[in-house]
Amino acid sequence: MEVIFLGVKQPVPAIVNAAAQEEPDIIWLSVFSGIHLDAVQTLVSELKKRGMGDIPVLVGGTIPLQDIPELLKAGATNAWIPGTPTEQIVAYVHKLVRGEEAPFRKGTEEVRIGQEKAWLAEDTKIPLKTYYTAEDVSDLNILENLSNPGAYPYTRGIYESLYRDYMWQVRQYTGLGLPEQTNERARYIVEQGGKGRGNVAVLNIVHDQPTQLGFDSDAPEARYDVARVGTAVDCIEDMEVIFQGLDLERIFYNCPSYSMSNAFWAMYVGIARRRGSRRKS
């Protein structure tokens, strides 16, 4: 199956023109929440005007589950929320192209929502209800299970007063080139006043695309993207270089690396332990 990528932020007319030229089996939209309904409705309408209304339109992206019925009403063939297993989507697309899968249309919203709930429950092994009330947590000990704001397990925030006593932190988005370059930039930000609550440094370090996707820098798939729009990290030693000369106990560190964030959190904790830091009660 050939995939034709038009690029980001493509207007609907460009998508329709590409469809007329390439005659695709399906059209896939990856959209941000907020524009998805209008984008799908406009696209489906324009396709029909050009005699291409039979091309299935599939939708993914940051879409709330409750908006899927509206997307189907707008003319989408199917839609998926974030976190849907890739293999599930691929299997559906293959069946749809081969004519083995009937598209979801208006009137099947409840079936679609039911399927989403089914795979969510299967993936997490947690049974899901349509809605929840106070009775569902009546057996919880509030202090033991939820605690107070600023206290473990921090379900109500990491500070007792939250944002009533101090302004939102502004964390400069940074991360570039090799770890050495990112370290230089991070130290510069701190020296220039990049600090937040309690005069503690605030850093928001982003990684390059291969790192975010779990590829090593020498992987063939990473060839053209290493150290671009973010810094490259392949091991804990790279992370040590990034934080060289910075006091980890005086840093608010944010790591917007999505699926790999847990790995970087583990590296961060590992660096702290190497420096002799210990978890505080």
The conformation of residue 258, written as its DSSP 8-state character, comes to G
pLDDT of residue 17: 93
Residue-range domain boundaries for the chain: 12-124, 168-274
pTM for the model: 0.53
Higher per-residue pLDDT: 123 or 30:
30
Distance between CA atoms of residues 64 and 37, nearest Å: 11
Closest CA to 190 of 241, 268, 251: 251
* 3-class secondary-structure state, position 17: helix
- Note the pLDDT tens digit of each residue in 265-275: 999 999 999 99
The one-letter amino acid at 220: P
Distance between CA atoms of residues 252 and 179, nearest Å: 19
- The answer to whether residues 253 and 205 touch, using CB atoms and an 8 Å cutoff, is yes
What kind of architecture, by CATH, is found in domain 12-124? 3-Layer(aba) Sandwich (3.40)
pLDDT (mean) for 73-100: 85
- The pair of structure tokens assigned to 259 is 């699926």
pLDDT (mean) for 82-89: 82
Distance between CA atoms of residues 125 and 179, nearest Å: 39
- Note the pLDDT tens digit of each residue in 137-173: 888 888 888 888 988 888 888 888 877 877 777 888 8
Closest CA to 190 of 168, 208, 172: 172
HSE, CB side, 13 Å, CA atoms: give it for residue 124.
10
In terms of Cβ atoms closer than 10 Å to its own Cβ (0-12, 13-18, 19+), residue 61 is: middle
pLDDT band at 107 (very low <50, low <70, confident <90, very high): very low
Instruction: Kindly report the length of the chain.
Output: 281
Closest CA to 191 of 179, 203, 181, 180: 203
DSSP 77-121: SEE--TT--HHHHHHHHHHHHTT-SPPP-TT-HHHHHHHHHHHHH
Please give the backbone phi and psi of residue 211, each rounded to the nearest 5 degrees, phi first: -65, -45
- The pair of structure tokens assigned to 166 is 């101090």
